[in-house]
């Protein structure tokens, strides 16, 4: 693959060619449908893996920490919020994210940024070669054309992450020259417009026609719904009706809620195609990673407490993170809560902090994720191969909550009663009956924000949600250790977005950080 100088500061990292056991040249790889399929697999894997070998060996690129995107994304979306209390602060270089004091030299910020643009670069190169498949049979050309639609979706997803995390970024697509050049910087509105037009132009297969782990038309619709729900934050105005429109498309595609919420996060969650719209596949046999959901499952189990790792299908826990007290508080009294999503390990710990955030005896451990199969058996030897639990990036419950929120924010296309009904569907699953149903008088935006936390905690949406509500950086909502103090405090509004890494600013003078 020729160098796509999307990022001139990591040009050597992007000067890659797809490699298989028998082929090492792009010309050879792209001379068949099977070759295209292998590279397409690499595009998907670029979100969860960092190299060609077990655990990240033969790395794709050199970066600050060398972490996979999903581990970066979890930390960027969760570590600054009320949902996570990180333990290994200095060792994991995560103090700045935890206390909302990061700068343009933060290693997690840099890793997340460069992994996104690595994926964008791979997609661009794939699309360049896909346009040259004229020698193929008509059937093979049609197959490659479908692959190209998937590549465009994966690129749009990466650009949406750039938009949501950084609010700006260099823009490069497959029509631009290969070689060293300085791409133009797109602001939030320009990125919004591009992502919207790209997603609306896609022709992806329906949910029943697509192989598990690959993008369907519903995945594009769900990403459009997220884009529209946050449009005002992105400087694109009110798109709440559009959000409802695409949520309705997803709901009309035949999805249904999984009966057992906990099974969405275990090692058999690949069977939940009724609710999971788009996953990133994690496979401890063929794609061993110490990031992605291995980090989530192992990280939420303590390594110096009475928690038994075997109860979660693990050989050992890592003790990487717990929760801040505000998250379990959303369920009321944890010990007596009837909400089935209230899953916290409380033995030997306290809900609230009285001292440092990295003290494992303070802050409950989450029990949301598991490496156990439905029958209770262990899916993999986690110490050697990681876990087998997929990451459900989009699922139907989020669509329900987005649609309800968009209605409360003034969007049309669904009634208030129907919006409340969607939320109560989730709560009836959580409670097993109607006792947890929200009354009309309590059904407001504050309730939706809390319900999103109850339903979606540790699914990497919390930072985006708090920002949309104007509560990420302000004094309107503080949580313990927000801003680096025990009681919590407001922080500078620049922390609503992450800065472009300092090295990238030096390489591309079209980019700038206004507030950093």
Q: Quick one: what percent of the chain has pLDDT higher than 70? A: 94
Output the pLDDT for position 404. Answer: 98
pLDDT interval class at 397 (50, 70, 90): very high
Strands 344-345 and 168-170: unpaired
Output the pLDDT for position 7. Answer: 33
CA 2 distance to own-chain centroid? 28
CATH 1.25.40.900 residue spans of the chain: 216-254+390-469
Angle in degrees, CA 443, 262, 300, rounded to 5:
100
pLDDT one-digit tens code per residue, 43-68: 999 999 987 766 667 778 777 677 89
**Do residues 104 and 499 make contact, with C-beta atoms less than 8 angstroms apart?**
yes
Output the pLDDT for position 19. Answer: 41
Phi, psi of 393 (to 5 degrees): -65, -40
pLDDT interval class at 3 (50, 70, 90): very low
Is residue 2 predicted with pLDDT exceeding 90?
no
CATH 1.25.40.390 residue spans of the chain: 1-203+477-511
Distances (CA, A) of 258 to 207, 396, 399, 412, 424: 16, 9, 14, 27, 14
pTM of the complete model = 0.94
Is residue 9 predicted with pLDDT exceeding 90?
no
pLDDT interval class at 258 (50, 70, 90): very high
Phi, psi of 386 (to 5 degrees): 75, -160
Output the pLDDT for position 159. Answer: 98
- The three-state secondary structure class of 407 is helix
pLDDT one-digit tens code per residue, 276-333: 999 999 999 988 889 899 999 999 999 988 899 999 999 999 999 999 999 999 999 9
Strands 344-345 and 365-366: antiparallel
Output the pLDDT for position 53. Answer: 67
- The three-state secondary structure class of 168 is strand
**Length of the chain, please?**
516
Task: Return the sign of the alpha-carbon dihedral for residues 321, 376, 293, 447.
Answer: negative
Output the pLDDT for position 152. Answer: 98
CATH of domain 1-203+477-511: 1.25.40.390
| Fold (CATH) for 216-254+390-469 | 1.25.40
DSSP calls for 37-90: HHHHHHHHHTTT--BSSGGG-SBS---SS---HHHHHHHHHHTTSTT-EES-TT
Output the pLDDT for position 55. Answer: 66
| Rounded Cα distance, 215 and 276, in Å | 11
The owner of tokens 């369907």 is 216
- The three-state secondary structure class of 468 is helix
The owner of tokens 């782990």 is 213
Is residue 144 predicted with pLDDT exceeding 80?
yes
Is residue 432 predicted with pLDDT exceeding 80?
yes
């Amino acid at each position: 693959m020729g160098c796509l100088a999307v990022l001139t500061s990591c040009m050597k990292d992007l000067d890659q060619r797809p490699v298989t056991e028998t082929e090492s040249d792009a010309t050879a790889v792209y001379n068949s449908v099977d070759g295209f399929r292998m590279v397409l697999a690499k595009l998907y894997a670029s979100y969860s893996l960092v190299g060609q070998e077990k655990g990240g060996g033969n790395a794709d690129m050199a970066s600050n920490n060398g972490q996979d995107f999903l581990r970066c994304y979890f930390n960027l979306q969760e570590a600054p919020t009320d949902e996570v209390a990180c333990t290994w602060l200095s060792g994991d270089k995560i103090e700045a994210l935890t206390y909302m004091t990061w700068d343009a030299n933060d290693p997690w910020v840099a890793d997340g940024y460069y992994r996104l643009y690595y994926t964008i670069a791979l997609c661009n190169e794939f699309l360049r070669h896909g346009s040259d498949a004229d020698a193929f049979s008509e059937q093979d050309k049609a197959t490659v054309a479908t692959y190209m639609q998937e590549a465009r979706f994966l690129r749009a997803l990466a650009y949406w992450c750039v938009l949501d995390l950084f609010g700006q970024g260099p823009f490069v697509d497959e029509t631009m020259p290969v070689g060293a050049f300085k791409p133009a910087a797109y602001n939030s509105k320009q990125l919004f417009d591009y992502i919207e037009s790209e997603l609306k132009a896609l022709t992806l297969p329906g949910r029943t026609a697509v192989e598990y782990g690959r993008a369907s038309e519903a995945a594009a619709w769900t990403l459009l719904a997220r884009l529209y729900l946050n449009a005002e934050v992105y400087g694109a105005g009110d798109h709440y009706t559009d959000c409802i429109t695409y949520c309705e498309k997803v709901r009309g595609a035949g999805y249904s809620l999984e009966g057992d919420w906990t099974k969405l996060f275990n090692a058999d969650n690949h069977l939940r195609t009724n609710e999971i719209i788009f996953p990133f596949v994690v496979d401890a046999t063929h794609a061993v990673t110490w990031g992605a959901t291995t980090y989530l499952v192992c990280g939420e189990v303590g390594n110096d407490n009475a928690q038994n790792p075997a109860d979660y299908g693990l050989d050992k826990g890592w003790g990487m993170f717990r929760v801040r007290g505000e998250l379990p508080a959303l369920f009321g009294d944890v010990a007596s809560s009837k909400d089935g999503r209230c899953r916290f390990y409380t033995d030997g710990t306290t809900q609230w902090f009285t001292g440092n955030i990295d003290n494992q005896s303070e802050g409950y451990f989450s029990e949301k994720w598991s490496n156990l199969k439905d029958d209770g058996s262990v899916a993999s030897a986690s110490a050697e191969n990681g876990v087998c639990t997929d990451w459900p990036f989009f699922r139907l419950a989020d669509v329900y909550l987005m649609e309800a929120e968009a209605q409360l924010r003034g969007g049309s296309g669904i009634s208030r009663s129907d919006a409340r009904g969607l939320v109560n569907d989730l709560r009836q699953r959580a409670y097993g009956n109607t006792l947890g149903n929200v009354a009309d008088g309590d059904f407001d935006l504050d309730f939706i924000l809390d319900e999103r936390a109850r339903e979606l905690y540790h699914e990497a949406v919390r930072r985006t949600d708090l920002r949309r509500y104007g509560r990420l950086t302000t004094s309107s909502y503080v949580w313990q250790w927000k801003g680096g103090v025990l009681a919590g405090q407001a922080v500078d509004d620049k922390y609503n977005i992450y800065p472009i890494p300092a090295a990238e600013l030096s390489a591309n003078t079209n980019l700038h950080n206004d507030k950093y």
